Amino acid sequence: MTENSTIFAKIFPKSEGLLLLKGVDSDYESTVTTEDFMKLKPILCVKKNLSIFSTLILLSFGLMIVLYGILEIDEIRDIYTL
């Protein structure tokens, strides 16, 4: 591995103070201490999975907002038609 190479890796805790690094798209595997890992200046990113339940909640909330807007438009129309 060269000094300035970039590797996408998953981090697994191994034991007290040790981390196992496994490459995502490569065969890279290494065990390092937490201090050595922080010296690598890692850029951490967390992959977030949006579950089906969360998606349904967001869609139903959006539908409620749309329905509320339609009802309010009808009320405003009724006020000005009097």
**Is 24 in a helix, a strand, or coil?**
coil
pTM of full prediction above 0.75? no
User: What is the mean predicted confidence (pLDDT) over 48-62?
Assistant: 85
Q: pLDDT digits over 16-31, tens only?
A: 889 998 988 888 888 9
Contacts of 19 (CB under 8 A, 6+ apart): 11, 12, 13, 31, 32, 33, 34, 37
d(CA 39, CA 80): 68
Annotated domain spans of the chain: 1-46, 48-82
